[in-house]
Each structure stands twice: as structure tokens, then as C-alpha cells.
Amino acid sequence: MEPLLRVEELVKTFRQGQITIWAVSGVSFEVFRGEAVGLVGESGCGKTTTARCILRLIQPASGRVYLAGTDLSQLSEREMRAQRRHIQMVFQDPNTSLNPRFTIRRTLAEPLRLHHLDDDRSVEERLHETMMRVNLEPSFLDRYPHQLSGGQKQRVGIARAIITEPRFVALDEPASSLDMSIRIHIIALLKRLQDELGMTYLFISHDLSTVRALCNRVLVMYAGQIVEAGQADDVFERPLHHYTRALLSAIPIPDPQARRQRILLEGEPPSLFERPVGCVFHERCPEAQPRCRDHQPALLDTGGGHLVTCHRISER
């Protein structure tokens, strides 16, 4: 199968005076139609920056992003505007992503107008249908964001993303600002939309239990690079990278009698003021070798599509 989304050697840097910050360093992955792929890692590792580069909300320094065979990175702003109907994003905080001066009706109708989708059938019909899909009453259309709860605002954010019937949706920690009970309903909604509409997701989160509930595959990111990737069950049950093991050891266990041995990493993440030369994890890895400092390991397939960047694994 051809992937719906293909990212090749994506690089994003930021300049602060004379200093260059390497936020994303050579990230590559694929997402197939109907998949939900989780992108996980600690805060500051480059997850959100990667998603924003994919959608061209910020311009990558280099690399290629293909959507259904179209190279988005080579499109002009006008050409990219036509593609935005097919590639949407749900932001982390609905309080800042929804315009407080717009009613919900205007918020949802705006994408239809911008993409000239307000002539093919009744806008009102589409608005009502989309509201029902996200479990909101159509009567909410005449309300403003401040009249909604946090969970209702995020449902409006999801509705805005799906109303143009996109091929691909990036979800940037869409449930992290919500209470746990509401978070469960949002994840259930996303799963139902995926089943009903065949949605394709890139789901960004640091909540690994949520990722396992929703995603087919998982990408583990550290210091701007993918260090492990594979089927969700395979990565969760058989993590190969030390960083992935440390992340998984921090997942809370619902049984108060159960205990899991925590893996506490020593040291700090590497500086992003210069592009990493060797393994980005070597300063914190308990099994680091001298060559880890100077040679970056390749993303090696250990079988069944389970990928990992580690010299130690490649020697087995």
C-alpha cells in the first residue's frame, strides 16, 4: 500500500541571534490510510514542531512531506491553501484555538467558506450533521466558546477539523487539558470517528496509556529524532530502546496493590544548540559505548516493522 502521508528527513531549526536550535533533526516516517499513529515523547522533544511542519504552519528547514503523493513542501502558499481542506489539525488548548468573538456556527462555517464548500449542499445541513457527529446538540451553534465547558470546546475543535472531510488529521494532545472522565469520552469519540469516516490520525501525546487505547502504531521521539517505532502492542510489550523503557515505566497502574519498577534516567537531555553527531541518547544510556558519542545509529528494523536506533541492538 502507498502511504497517505510520508515524511522524509524532516529538519526544523530556529534562530535566536547567532544561535541555531535544532528542534527536529532528520525525522522520517509513514502513515497509512485509516491508521492512528501515536507520536510520543517528553515535552520539548519536537512532537508539536514536527506536526506544524507537516501542515506547513511553520516552514521546515529541509526535508519532504508527501500527502497522497503530492509534495507539500514544494507547493506555493496558494497551492498549499487548496490542500488544507485535506490536512487538518486539532490543537491542545481549545481556549486559545477558538476565536472568542465567533459563535460556534461561524467557527464551523468559516472552513467551508474558505474552501468553497458552501455551495455543494446546504451549509446548515452540514453544520447540524457535524455537530451530531461530535455529540453536541445543534442548538450549541449559536453559543460562544465562553458558554461551553472544556470538553465541549474540544469537541468544537474536532468538529472544525473534520467538517471539510480531510484525509489526514494531526491531533496535538487534544485531551491533555481535560479531566480524566472527559478525556475518556474524547478518545472514544476519536475512535468512533475513525471507524465511521475512515479518519487517519497522527496523535501527539505524552500520555502513553491514551496512545495505546487509540493508536495502531507508535513513534517514540527524543531530542528531535525518532528512536523507536513499531506496532503499538509490540512497542508496549517489548520495548527495545532504553528511553522507551523509561517512558513506559512511568505509566500509572490502576491497581493500588501493584507496583512497577521505575527506570529513572540520569542526566539531562542533550543541548539542541548544535546538531547531534552521535546517538542523541548516549549521555543518559547505561549501556553507551565509545562509538555512540561519534556515530549516529541507523533506524534498524528488528523484525515485524519494529524499528530502533541503537548500536547495541544492531550487534545482536
**Percentage of the chain surpassing pLDDT 70?**
96
- The model's pLDDT over 83-97, given as tens digits with 9 standing for 90+, comes to 999 999 999 888 889
- All three cell numbers of 132, joined, read 451530531
Look at residue 194 and tell me whether its pLDDT is greater than 80. yes
Q: Judge whether 297 and 285 are in contact, CB under 8 Å.
A: no
Strand order in the sheet with 62-67: 19-31, 5-16, 62-67, 70-71
End-to-end CA distance of the chain: 30
pLDDT grade for 206, boundaries at 50, 70 and 90:
confident
**Position with higher pLDDT, 259 vs 291:** 291
- The model's pLDDT over 243-260, given as tens digits with 9 standing for 90+, comes to 999 999 887 776 666 666
SS3 assignment, position 73: helix
Find the mean pLDDT for residues 122-136: 93
- Average pLDDT taken over every residue of the chain: 90
Domain boundaries, the chain: 5-86+166-314
At 267 the pLDDT is: 81
Look at residue 54 and tell me whether its pLDDT is greater than 80. yes
CATH class of 5-86+166-314: alpha beta
- Spatial distance between the Cα atoms of 142 and 284, rounded to a whole number of angstroms: 53
- The model's pLDDT over 178-189, given as tens digits with 9 standing for 90+, comes to 788 888 899 999
